[in-house]
């Protein structure tokens, strides 16, 4: 069966990101329950649009109970949106970028004109490297407990062997990201950060994301409603998500065909973008994503510092979309690509293309 030629999927309805908020990302937030951590960002995006909870047509969240070891924690988090009387609501056990995809789909159907999307993750109560082994293939991988850094290190070594990068180049990605993060007041790790020792060779502490807690929220609106709520809406011109083959050893770890296909479908390659917010928790993954998205040196990559500056699990992907949208809101970007990932070695990838109105 020959793969179908990818084609650009045009949305049926214009939908835009009209507000974005995020917490300061911290190593630990013991004093706050998940809903207490989340509430301020929900209030922030509602205040930015003047909307009340009861005005929101659809609410969708992303989180993972394994991170903090709290069963059904997302039902508690719903307290923060004022879910009584009952609201139209859904949840994905994924990064909030996929919650945004579900909300975008709901707006495409015309069932709603506005959507609230939020996600949060508290990694501090557990050991995230070990927790993430539980998402792996339960027959062939999970019994070996290969942690998230080990799997990323296998990918990094494959890139080094292929001549696509080397340790100094990876250190350069780390340095640039943390330097850019000095302009991001929410960043957990910024400024001059030592590359440090190997965690799992060839990856050093500087190549790895900080572990921490945080939350983010976005409001989507369709058509004229978006223009009412936001001076310069960040229109989602295309959005798509794709997954790699299940087996790590089946994949070419130096490439990301799923990212490229999602970008193709979202229309990213039709015209150059000026900004890219990439969800690359490890320095080596930025190398893969730049290639897959065909980003030239003239593209501003991760001006926020990206996931190397703050990587709250389940929120860091949504934050990439939010950061790209916020740049459009303030006129710093006209056409931006945002990317989110999930699973080991960029297993699953979501790509969104955002644009401001032409002035």
Binding site for other proteins (CB under 8 A): 1, 3, 30-36, 39, 42-43, 53, 66, 68-70, 76, 78-85, 125-127, 129-131, 133-134, 138-147, 150-151, 153-158, 161, 198, 200-203, 245-250, 253
Q: Is the peptide bond before 202 cis (omega within 30 degrees of 0)?
A: yes
* CA-based nearest residue to 178, from 170, 168, 187: 187
**Minimum distance between the CB of residue 235 and other proteins, rounded to whole angstroms?**
28
Strands 234-243 and 348-355: antiparallel
Nearer to other proteins, 28 or 182 (CB): 28
Based on CB atoms, which residue is closest to other proteins, 259 or 302? 259
Q: Which is nearer to other proteins, 136 or 226 (CB)?
A: 136
d(CA 335, CA 127): 38
Strand pairing report for 275-277 and 114-122: unpaired
Which residue's CB is nearer to other proteins, number 82 or number 223?
82
Cβ proximity of 230 and 16 under 8 Å: yes
Cα–Cα distance, 128 to 329 (Å, whole number): 34
3-state secondary structure of 261: helix
**CA dihedral (63, 64, 70, 71) positive or negative:** positive
> Could you tell me the smallest distance in angstroms from the CB atom of residue 293 to other proteins?
23
Shortest gap between Cβ of 70 and other proteins (angstroms)? 8
CB of 174 to other proteins, least distance (A): 18
Q: Closer CB to other proteins, residue 170 or residue 336?
A: 170
Helix 257-266 to helix 283-292 angle (10° resolution) is 50
Smallest separation, CB 298 to other proteins (Å)? 32
Minimal distance, residue 311 CB to other proteins, in Å:
19
Q: Pick the closer one to other proteins by CB: 202 or 238.
A: 202
């Amino acid at each position: 069966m020959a793969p179908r030629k990818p084609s650009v999927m045009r949305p049926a309805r214009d939908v835009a990101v009209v507000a974005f908020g995020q917490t300061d990302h911290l190593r630990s937030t013991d004093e706050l329950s998940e809903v207490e951590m989340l509430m301020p960002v929900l209030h922030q995006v509602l205040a930015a649009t003047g909307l009340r909870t009861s005005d929101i047509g659809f609410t969708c969240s992303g989180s993972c109970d394994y991170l903090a070891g709290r069963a059904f924690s997302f039902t508690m988090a719903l307290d923060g949106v004022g879910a009584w009387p009952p609201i139209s609501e859904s949840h994905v056990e994924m990064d909030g970028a996929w919650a945004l995809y579900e909300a975008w789909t709901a707006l495409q159907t015309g069932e709603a004109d506005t959507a609230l999307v939020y996600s949060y993750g508290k990694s501090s109560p557990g050991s995230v490297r070990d927790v993430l082994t539980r998402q792996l293939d339960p027959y062939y991988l999970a019994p070996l407990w290969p942690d998230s850094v080990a799997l990323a290190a296998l990918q990094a070594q494959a890139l080094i062997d292929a001549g696509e990068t080397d340790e100094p180049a990876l250190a350069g990605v780390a340095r640039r990201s943390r330097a850019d993060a000095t302009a991001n007041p929410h960043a957990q790790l910024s400024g001059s950060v030592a590359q440090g020792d190997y965690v799992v060779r060839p990856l050093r502490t500087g190549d790895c994301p900080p572990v921490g807690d945080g939350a983010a929220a976005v409001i989507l609106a369709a058509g004229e409603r978006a223009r009412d709520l936001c001076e310069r809406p960040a229109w989602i011109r295309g959005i798509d998500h794709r997954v790699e083959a299940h087996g790590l050893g089946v994949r070419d770890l130096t490439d990301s065909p799923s990212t490229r296909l999602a970008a193709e479908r979202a229309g990213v390659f039709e015209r150059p973008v000026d900004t890219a917010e990439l969800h690359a928790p490890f320095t080596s993954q930025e190398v893969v994503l730049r290639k897959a998205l065909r980003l030239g040196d003239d593209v501003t990559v991760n001006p926020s510092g990206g996931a190397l500056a703050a990587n709250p699990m389940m929120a860091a992907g949504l934050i990439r979309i939010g950061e790209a949208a916020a740049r459009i809101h303030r006129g710093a970007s006209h056409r931006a690509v945002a990317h989110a990932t999930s699973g080991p070695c960029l297993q699953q990838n979501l790509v969104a293309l955002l644009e401001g109105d032409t002035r």
